[in-house]
């Protein structure tokens, strides 16, 4: 079995496990999220997806952050201080869009000036959106699923183009699960609001 196929199979298995835990809003997603980037980072580097490769370093750091944030428990007296699934505050969206624009532009410029990337726009697009989605996930904001959906749909085409079809297929599945996850997290929000 060649290295590309092996890395794709391992990455798909880890990705499915990660998605299961994310769907369940289970803290174990962050543990898998510390292992999976190593596998994908090697694959993306060898395929010339440099921004996606660099993104894997961010995923490791963000995974540590997410694990710490999700590990913090509210006191028994103050359950409201515990991090719960919710909506992204409207005022945050201006900053989020600004950060996205800066990231996308900066990564794009790096790729066209310092790499031999054949897909600098798309690589920088999915990478910058992934940074945003991962931060939203770390705060348990339901809209993270919608950002991931955009990333996943674009990534399917990009990875088929770059001839890594198993990983592209994983992202097609991610797209479907992003819809299911979004609906599930909305239901959790509604159930918690009806209890209060």
Query: What is the band of 32 on the pLDDT scale with cuts at 50, 70, 90?
Result: very high
Residue-level pLDDT at 78: 53
Residue-level pLDDT at 186: 95
d(CA 164, CA 69) in angstroms, rounded, equals 34
Query: What is the band of 196 on the pLDDT scale with cuts at 50, 70, 90?
Result: low
Residue-level pLDDT at 76: 53
93-135: per-residue pLDDT in tens? Answer: 999 999 999 999 999 999 999 988 899 999 999 999 999 998 9
d(CA 143, CA 137) in angstroms, rounded, equals 8
Give 101: exposed, middle or buried? Use CB within 10 Å, 0-12, 13-18, 19+.
Answer: exposed
127-178: per-residue pLDDT in tens? Answer: 999 999 989 998 999 999 999 999 999 999 999 998 889 889 989 988 999 9
Q: What percent of the chain has pLDDT over 70?
A: 94
3-23: per-residue pLDDT in tens? Answer: 888 888 898 899 889 888 988
Residue-level pLDDT at 183: 96
Give 102: exposed, middle or buried? Use CB within 10 Å, 0-12, 13-18, 19+.
Answer: exposed
Residue-level pLDDT at 62: 86
Residue-level pLDDT at 81: 59
Q: What is the DSSP letter of 86?
A: B
11-19 long-range contacts, Cβ below 8 Å, gap at least 24?
11/36, 11/39, 11/40, 11/43, 11/166, 11/167, 11/170, 12/166, 12/167, 12/169, 12/170, 14/39, 15/170, 15/174, 16/170, 16/173, 19/173, 19/174, 19/177, 19/181
> What's the rounded mean pLDDT across residues 80-91?
85
Residue-level pLDDT at 55: 81
């Amino acid at each position: 079995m060649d290295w590309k196929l092996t890395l794709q199979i391992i990455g798909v298995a880890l990705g499915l496990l990660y998605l299961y835990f994310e769907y369940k809003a289970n803290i174990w997603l962050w543990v898998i999220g510390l292992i999976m980037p190593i596998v994908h980072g090697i694959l993306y580097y060898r395929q010339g997806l440099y921004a996606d490769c660099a993104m894997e370093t961010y995923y490791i750091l963000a995974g540590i952050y997410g694990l710490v944030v999700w590990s913090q428990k509210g006191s028994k007296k103050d359950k409201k201080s515990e991090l719960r699934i919710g909506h992204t505050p409207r005022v945050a969206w201006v900053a989020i869009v600004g950060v996205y624009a800066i990231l996308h532009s900066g990564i794009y410029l790096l790729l066209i000036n310092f790499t031999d990337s054949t897909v600098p726009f798309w690589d920088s697009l999915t990478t910058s959106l992934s940074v945003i989605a991962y931060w939203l996930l770390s705060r348990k904001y339901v809209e993270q699923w919608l950002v991931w959906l955009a990333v996943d749909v674009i990534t399917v085409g990009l990875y088929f183009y770059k001839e890594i079809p198993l990983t592209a297929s994983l992202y097609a599945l991610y797209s479907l699960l992003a819809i299911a996850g979004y609906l599930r997290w909305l239901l959790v929000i509604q159930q918690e609001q009806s209890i209060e």
